[in-house]
Copies of this chain bind each other. A is one copy, B any other.
Amino acid sequence: MFKSAEVGHRISKSAYREAVPGLRAALLEAQVDLHEGKRIPVVLLISGQDGAGKGETINVLYEWMDPRFLSTLAFSQPTDEERERPPMWRYWRSLPPKGRIGILAGSWYSDPIRERIEGLISLNQLDARAEQINRFEAMLVNEGAVVLKFWFHLTKEGQAQRLKELESDPKTAWRVTQWNWDRLKTYDKLQEVAGHFLRLTNTAWAPWIVVEGTDDRYRSLTVGQIVLAALKKKIAQTSPVATPVAPIVRVDTDGRNVLSELNLHHALADKPYKTELAQWQGRLAELVRDPRFQGRSLVCAFEGADAAGKGGAIRRIVAALDARQYQVIPVAAPTEEERAQPHLWRFWRHLPRKGRVAIFDRTWYGRVLVERVEGFCSENDWLRAYTEINDFEHEMLAAGVIVVKFWLQISQEEQLKRFKEREQIAFKRFKITEEDWRNRDKWDAYQQAICDMVQRTSTGNAPWTLVEANDKNYARVKILQTLCERMEAALAAAPGAAKKSGTQKPEKNKKNKR
């Protein structure tokens, strides 16, 4: 794919001078439309051979466009905060918000290419990274972003030539270091690995744009015009374009499903409850202090009908933890900064460091539950969310995060009883809202959404645990026990051993067998 960038493209000074003012005005206009109008985020990757003009192009973009809506994001060595999270975390945290252009000097392509050149990963592993990147970029595009990936190419001779030119001019000599000369030696290897990797990631939704880097004016003008055309096209789009999704949902032909099969009569008397609670809390306290946990982290996801007892269960868990070790993240309406990002961004930002615990009171499943049922997002949005959620959890698992997901199920009668009780007791009144009563009307739609969710996202290392929660004692002990057992199993296994596997049955039967 580099051949088209070895043509010897050149633009004359006069042609350049003639073209720039109009291009510049149009780019500024497009930026205003991006920012004030449709609030489109733009992810602009600048990559390629050294000396092919990456830095110069960024400077030209800053010169032509309004820097108020531009950010340059540089990724060198990951910080320890970044190393303690899944590798993609550092890119998620840096994504440009809607209306802004993020210029990425270095990106999710840098590490796989470097690791392959250094022989740290196999070709198969490289291909797996390509697949992961393709899905990530598809998510960005589905979320409304424009993803522009530039690769600046130079022939080997061209690269040597350019370094010499820079070095011979005292005004630019400082830009050439031994590092640049060393990179010239790895030219062939980089061409080979990058060629392969670019091919695999050259998708319809985020294709590579290879630009010949030799001539400054040609390169600048080409980048400027491609950026402008892409922005104008996107701004002109009247309907959102997203990856097609199969509108396949589960059907209960015989009226039975994972929820209807739960035995909500399970109960635990107060006395054994107290003993078991203390026992499992003690065990949990040991597990989070286990030296092996210091290289891992724990993410607990709590979902359940209103009044199902999520808060009470969470309090029983944190009672066994050191306050310095955990965060409870109550998921409410997204903030302005969160709304300006892909919908999983607000969960990525709360991923815990190693040795830490994050407990989500409601989760990233909101999109396939409340948002689906209440129509807060389009069908396309929630249908593609299953895949995005599985990718999200896969990235956590692959990085050694222990992911434990609970659905707390109560009967309609039990929920009504708890609602009425809450209204009686002054200090619980604030937990009941209009919305709670309204949600009850959609009970069946919610059951359907839950069953679909369990089927589509109960995966190998991140299964759903369905909790029979009519009896709070029983539910709390089952949750603590499950948590301990999942942690024990995870700590016994090697970190990062998570395999991308198919969906499996939720762990609903474990406690029942007691």
Identify which of residues 313-333 in chain A touch chain B, using a CB-to-CB cut-off of 8 Å: 314-315, 318-319, 322-328, 330, 332
- Main DSSP-derived SS at the A contact region: helix
Residue numbers in B under 8 Å from A174 (CB-CB) = 282, 285-286, 289
User: Can you report 5 residue pairs joining A to B where beta carbons are below 8 Å apart?
Assistant: A21-B425, A59-B323, A74-B324, A103-B323, A336-B337
> Residues of A at under 8 Å CB distance from B?
21, 24-25, 28-29, 31-32, 46, 54-55, 58-59, 62-63, 66-72, 74-76, 79-81, 103, 105-106, 170-171, 173-175, 278, 281-282, 285-286, 289, 311, 314-315, 318-319, 322-328, 330, 332, 335-337, 353, 361, 425-427, 429-431
Are the C-beta atoms of B430 and A28 separated by less than 8 Å?
Answer: yes
Question: A59 CA to B319 CA in the complex, in Å?
Answer: 7
The one of B62, B63, B319 that contacts A328, using a Cβ cutoff of 8 Å: B62
Are the C-beta atoms of A67 and B330 separated by less than 8 Å?
Answer: yes
Q: Which residue of B is nearest A336, CB measured? A: B336
Closest 9 CB pairs of A and B: A74-B324, A336-B336, A25-B427, A68-B330, A24-B427, A25-B426, A171-B278, A174-B285, A58-B323
What's the least CB distance linking A368 to chain B, in Å?
22
Are the C-beta atoms of A326 and B72 separated by less than 8 Å?
Answer: yes
Are the C-beta atoms of A68 and B332 separated by less than 8 Å?
Answer: yes
Residue numbers in B under 8 Å from A25 (CB-CB) = 426-427, 429
Are the C-beta atoms of B324 and A76 separated by less than 8 Å?
Answer: yes
Residue numbers in B under 8 Å from A74 (CB-CB) = 323-325
Residue numbers in B under 8 Å from A28 (CB-CB) = 427, 429-430
The one of B171, B315, B361, B426 that contacts A59, using a Cβ cutoff of 8 Å: B315
Are the C-beta atoms of B314 and A282 separated by less than 8 Å?
Answer: no
Are the C-beta atoms of A72 and B430 separated by less than 8 Å?
Answer: no
Residue numbers in B under 8 Å from A426 (CB-CB) = 21, 25
Residue numbers in B under 8 Å from A71 (CB-CB) = 327-328
With A174-B285, A282-B171 in contact, do A323 and B68 touch (Cβ < 8 Å)? Answer: no
Question: A173 CA to B311 CA in the complex, in Å?
Answer: 26
What's the least CB distance linking A99 to chain B, in Å?
11
Question: A342 CA to B305 CA in the complex, in Å?
Answer: 37
Question: A21 CA to B428 CA in the complex, in Å?
Answer: 10
Are the C-beta atoms of A62 and B324 separated by less than 8 Å?
Answer: no
Question: A76 CA to B324 CA in the complex, in Å?
Answer: 8
Are the C-beta atoms of A430 and B323 separated by less than 8 Å?
Answer: no
The one of B55, B285, B361 that contacts A323, using a Cβ cutoff of 8 Å: B55
Q: Which residue of B is nearest A361, CB measured? A: B67
Question: A59 CA to B336 CA in the complex, in Å?
Answer: 30
